[in-house]
Amino acid sequence: MNAAAQAIAYGVKLAGVSVHFVDTSVDGGPIIAQAAVAVAADDDAKTLHARIQREEHRLLPIVVQRLAAGQLSCQGRIVRGRAE
């Protein structure tokens, strides 16, 4: 539920964001685009979450624009077309 706090608790060096198609699973649809966010040594859940959100706010409009323009397609789990 709180991905940023979980990332810090697990000691990961990279966290990030994924934009994916929605299917019947939870966060299991085919991935359209991803962006990595470095986890700083002094990060807490709030600071990491803020950086992740900046990437979400950058990436999502790009994906929506490309979907609307017909530049992306999905066949099974394979997404074709550049979304990043």
pLDDT averaged over 10-residue windows placed end to end, the chain, 84 residues:
92 94 80 95 96 96 92 87 68
Which distant-in-sequence residues (6+ apart) come within 8 Å of 16 by Cβ? 34, 35, 36, 37, 52, 55
Q: Compute the distance between CA of residue 17 and CA of residue 66 in angstroms, rounded to an integer.
A: 18
The pLDDT assigned to 84 comes to 60
Residue type, 77: R
The pLDDT assigned to 77 comes to 86
The pLDDT assigned to 27 comes to 76
Q: C-alpha angle with apex 42: 37 to 44, nearest 5 degrees?
A: 70
The pLDDT assigned to 82 comes to 64
Rounded to two decimals, the pTM is: 0.82
Q: Is the dihedral of CA 40, 8, 32, 79 positive or negative?
A: positive
The pLDDT assigned to 73 comes to 86
